[in-house]
Chain A
Amino acid sequence: MLRKRSMVITSITAVLLALSLGIVSAQERVQIRWFVGLGAGTDAPQIEAQEAVVEEFNNSQDRIELVLEIVDNEQAPGVLSTQIAAGNAPDIVGPVGILGRSQFPGAWLDLSELLTETNYDLSDFDQDLVEFYDIEGEGQIGLPFAIFPSFLIYNVDLFDEAGIPYPPRNYGDPYVDWDGVEREWNFDTLREIAMILTVDSNGNDATMEEFNPDDIVQFGFAPQWTDYRGRLSLFGAGNFVDEEGNAVLPDHWRDGLYWYQQAMWEDYFIPNGVYGGADFMGGGNWFESGNLAMVHIHLWYLPCCTWGLADVEYQLAPVPSYNGVTTAKMHGDTFSIMNTTEHPEEAFEVLTYLIGDKAEELATLYGGMPARLSLQDTYFDTISQNDPIAGRDLHWDIVVAGMSYTDNPSHEGPLPNLREAEDVYNTWSGNLDNDPNFDLDTEIPRLLDSLQQVYDQSN
């Protein structure tokens, strides 16, 4: 009896001991929450891969427990704001682009001190790119992780069908037209070939008198999935605000607005509001529909959104110039630590793991080119082996060369009262896209007035 009782007591003691040890063990780990949603990382295959990264990190040490939080892109800004308001903000956010980060000014931890304390090696990064994340008044709010240069992609089949030569092979090369005449690869040349590649249901192209603009079945060119700051940056870098906080429209952007209006409503080679959401234009993924001859887009587009082009041959081409200046806008992603974190050292350790050991794997996963110089050589070999671009012989040197023409200031750069300013110019440009009678001479001053009102509210 006594023996039985002592066995029970021993068992209970053992269980309690095991439990308490477990609790102690769990308590020892510092929890670091990684928030994904402001940029890439929310697609199903990416989620799986990120979970594997988290598991690998957690198994590699016993001091930090990394917890992944994935929120849909649409919901992410609201969810993150709510978490901040509730005092429940995550520790690390990323990958996050310039725009996503600009939505939360003042929310990021200045990494300068941690970089100095840990003597972190920055020699593997382009110094300009490191300074890109050193924001006035906020400090070093991130480190370079992945970059997404932009370029043109053209549908080879549609060029062959039209019987016109392809765009130039390299930046600086002229366009050699159907008569063998060399032309500067600029937006005038692009306009001309884009009109030839814009076709109605009777096979007439946009240069012909018989062309029916009410029955277009194929378009020549479009900048896809970008707002008007992105569209206008093709005509040169700029912004809607000057250094004094005044609403402005740079001259080359003004030219760009007239160019786009003509392209949509007179030349018809860019889809306007009538055609933008049409089924035959892929419901918004225009180039993937196979009915757009040339698109201007970023590197992230290729691995994410070209699955419908399996039977279509396409190739990369340089961005045309405007007034002799070429501008290929750039997206850059990073991971940032929120300044509300209670564990900055541990969060920094995770951050350096993500942009260090896992930089190549994650950058490839998100479709970006690693910012680490040592990883760039092998990047294109790796990315070419993965679907949906596996087996294609793409001109990757165009992507690398595009980095020399990036937009500075960025088309995603800060604006006073950013969210409302974006709403103002997006609403305004919605009318430009939808209204064939939109009078730019009248509407541009109204846009600037509206923007100025929004800017003034931020003071």
Chain B
Amino acid sequence: MDMVSALSEARKERFAWAGFTPARRREALYGFLFISPWLIGFLIFYLFPMIASIIFSFMSFELSKPDEAMFIGLTNWTLLFDDSTLIQSLQVTFVFAIISLPIGLISAFLLAVLLNSSQLMGRNLFRTLFYAPTMIPLIASVLIWAQVLNPSDGWVNRAIEVFGFDARGTDGLRWLNDPSRPGLVWIAYTFIGLWGIGNAMLINLSALQGVPSDLYDSARVDGATWWRRLLAITVPMVSPVIFYNLVLGVIGLLQYFIVPWVLTGGSGDPNGYTMFYMVHFFKQGFIFQKMGYGATLAWLMFFIALVITIFLFVTARYWVFYSGELDS
């Protein structure tokens, strides 16, 4: 080491230590102290379980027989290729996502546009009403929906019959348990999901309120129609929020569990059309108590979610518009 670089190193070291005055040290200590609940919580409830689940994925481990746990190498991972229910659950999850995700995102966005309109009377009332269902515990609302969509005496089928259609009975609209029409149960589940779009609607609404009004004024002067303004101004301006909702929606659908579990108890009825990935995972891990294989399924889902999320972020550069980037 020559003289200059040695001096530079010594200065670096001195300045580094100089940064930690007693006051800064105290400040750092308080900082750690204040975030310690989160750090401890993260370590205990996230990091350690994640590490444990990686280890479990290489083990045969049944909860009620901990003494019989043993290392089995890659057996759980190779088992993924022989698990026919896994393939089925992935198919169900992705097909449902393709149906449900666009409907949920577009509904939340259009509802926000509607509730942002200056021509709508009682906007605050409607905003409250559309958000209110989000406050109801999901399990309670799912149980209510089960009755509302009941094929024999549910309100939906009774309402449809008012218009002269034959909706009840074996050949009627059996929303939740028709084994011959898989699309029906997925539509019903999507419908139930719409009950909870209040959050996405609210986020869209706040984004819409942040779009500068002078852009719309300029567009009006140029003769742009409402539809044109929506596509050329509103959508690009709120695209970061749409992207945010999209990412959350995809992850939420990959973790879709409560609705099918409450309605079917994990049976996959009708005919396996509600055997979502998380239902399969839960049954393997917590009903059949195969914690090793359950952990493997959890990690597989993690990798799937990771790949999809990376894909979304990569494609985002082509359609998500960040106005701040132009300023800089």
Q: Which residues of A contact B (CB under 8 A)?
A: 78, 80-82, 84-85, 87, 103-104, 106-107, 213-216, 265, 272-275, 277-280, 283, 419-420, 423, 426-427, 430-431, 434-437
Contacts of A87 in B (CB 8 A): 66
Contacts of A84 in B (CB 8 A): 63-66
Q: Which residues of B contact A (CB under 8 A)?
A: 63-66, 146-147, 150-153, 166, 168-172, 174, 177-180, 266-272, 283, 286-289
The distance in angstroms between the C-alpha atoms of A80 and B199, with both chains bound, is 37
Task: Quote the shortest CB–CB distance from B65 to chain A (angstroms).
Answer: 7
Contacts of A277 in B (CB 8 A): 146-147, 150
Task: Return the contact of A82 from the options B63, B153, B288 (Cβ within 8 A).
Answer: B63
A437 touches B153 (CB 8 A): no
Contacts of B288 in A (CB 8 A): 419-420, 423
Q: Please, which residue of chain A has its CB at the minimum distance from the CB of B178?
A: A434
Task: Quote the shortest CB–CB distance from A357 to chain B (angstroms).
Answer: 31
Contacts of B272 in A (CB 8 A): 427
B66 touches A104 (CB 8 A): no
A423 touches B287 (CB 8 A): yes
The distance in angstroms between the C-alpha atoms of A285 and B171, with both chains bound, is 25
Give the 8 A-B CB pairs with smallest separation, nearest first. Answer: A214-B169, A81-B63, A435-B179, A81-B64, A85-B63, A85-B66, A430-B269, A278-B152
A-B contact pairs, 8 of them (CB 8 A): A78-B63, A81-B64, A84-B63, A84-B66, A85-B66, A277-B146, A419-B289, A430-B269
A435 touches B64 (CB 8 A): no
A435 touches B169 (CB 8 A): no
Main secondary structure of the interface of A (DSSP, over half): helix
B169 touches A283 (CB 8 A): no
Task: Quote the shortest CB–CB distance from B188 to chain A (angstroms).
Answer: 13
A423 touches B283 (CB 8 A): yes
Contacts of B171 in A (CB 8 A): 214
B169 touches A215 (CB 8 A): yes
Task: Quote the shortest CB–CB distance from A331 to chain B (angstroms).
Answer: 21
Given A81-B63, A427-B267, A430-B269, also A279-B289 (CB < 8 A): no
Task: Quote the shortest CB–CB distance from B305 to chain A (angstroms).
Answer: 25
Given A84-B64, A431-B270, A434-B270, also A279-B169 (CB < 8 A): no
The distance in angstroms between the C-alpha atoms of A420 and B266, with both chains bound, is 12
Q: Please, which residue of chain A has its CB at the minimum distance from the CB of B266?
A: A423
A431 touches B271 (CB 8 A): yes
Task: Quote the shortest CB–CB distance from A228 to chain B (angstroms).
Answer: 13
The distance in angstroms between the C-alpha atoms of A265 and B178, with both chains bound, is 14
Task: Quote the shortest CB–CB distance from B70 to chain A (angstroms).
Answer: 14
The distance in angstroms between the C-alpha atoms of A106 and B283, with both chains bound, is 22
